[in-house]
Amino acid sequence: MKKSIKAVTRSCMAICLTVSGATAHAGDYTLEVIEQWGFPGGLNNLGQVVGVVHYPAVAETSFNFTYSSSTGSVHSPVEPEGSNGYLDINDAGQILTPQGVITQGVLAPASASVGTSLNASGQFTGSLNGSAILGNANGQVSRLEMPEGYWHARGLALNNAGGVTGVVSVNNSLRAFTHINGVTTDLGVLPPQSNDNFSYYAYGYNLGPYSIGLAINDEGTVIGISNGHLFEYKNGVMSAIPGLPTGTELPRVREGNLNQKGQFVFNTGFDPSLGKHYGESALYLYDNGHIKSIRSLMKPEDAAVWTSLHDVYAINDKGQITVLSERKFDNYYATFSFLLTPPAPAVPEASAALMAGLAAPLVLAWSRRRAISKHTTT
């Protein structure tokens, strides 16, 4: 009987492990080509992408585009006057441009310098006459109050609650800030990365120690750069993100590029393994303490075709990523944008330990049934 119980236990465990499924691994992301000569701007959670197409062979020939992951269709939309340059798109289909927000084909002009990220309710950030602003889909903007002594603020990204991060000047340096629920917080700076005393240069001036907030999610986590470091600001603490590839340059994170899972993508501009600058697999995904190269996420057959990766643009809450790459043809190179989509997670995602616990009552019930059956027959 002991042998039979063990057999049942093994059977239950096998079922449990089958139900739990496998975790998605690198190297199995699906690649979809978006547009030749297309530069992606924003990416929403429906897999829709907006951006701008520039044809280098034809002077001043460019247009906005939208791309739908579900249909694979690319459009050249009828552009409201002055809306050139699609920057971002939210799940409602509203589109951010340098002039304001387009809702159902209608542009609401904003009297401010517009940033590059749009939240779920159609809000955006930017600057107006030296003040950081929060704007809405109707074109209305309001200035964000800064503490005394802080000036020339610019909002660079925002979350779905209207919390803003960006950069402001104070005491001859640049500081990352957040403006959440009417309260402005100076995020501080990190120590220089080396003895070279890293400084941020803008307009030819050395502005001293610096930090810049580049993205913020709904939990209030901020991603940015400070004195040569890539940083994460969480629960009131700024900390350097460790594990960057050796020999990399200052990482570049595009504004608003942080999803609700804490993932973001970045470009170091340098790949130590290839020794080349500005491209060539120098693109990475930060995933909760782990740094993975974008190339490692691609299927081998795709990585063999797209051998020169130039930049990474955005990641949505589903983990989809937009990438800019170059491809060689017979006598010329062409730039393409593409979308990487991670494999769907296994369903259901139950743990083996939990299922093993559920298996115990089944084994006990089987044992009792065997005992009763044996007693009855005797």
| CATH match of 31-351 with 2.130.10 | yes
d(CA 153, CA 130): 6
Residue 8 pLDDT: 39
Structure-model confidence comparison of residues 205 and 209, the more confident one: 209
3-state secondary structure at position 261 = coil
Q: How far apart are the first and last CA of the chain?
A: 16
| pLDDT tens-digit series, residues 258-296 | 999 999 999 887 555 554 444 455 789 999 889 999 999
For all residues of the chain together, what is the average pLDDT? Answer: 80
Residue 228 pLDDT: 82
- Give the percent of the chain with pLDDT over 90: 53
- Residue 12's φ and ψ, nearest 5 degrees, are -60, -45
Question: Where do runs of H (alpha helix) occur along 50-171?
Answer: none
Q: Are 50 and 34 in contact (CB under 8 A)?
A: no
Residue 9 pLDDT: 41
User: Looking at this protein, which amino acid is placed at residue 191?
Assistant: P
Lowest mean pLDDT among 141-155, 301-315, 344-358: 344-358
Region 80-85: mean pLDDT is 67
pTM above 0.95, yes or no: no
Q: Which residues contact 46 (CB under 8 A, 6 or more apart)?
A: 68, 69, 70, 91
Chain centroid to Cα 323, Å, comes to: 11
Q: How many CB atoms lie within 10 A of CB 212?
A: 22
How many degrees, rounded to 5, is the angle at CA 23 between CA 15 and CA 318?
A: 130
pLDDT at 352 over 70: no
3-state secondary structure at position 306 = coil
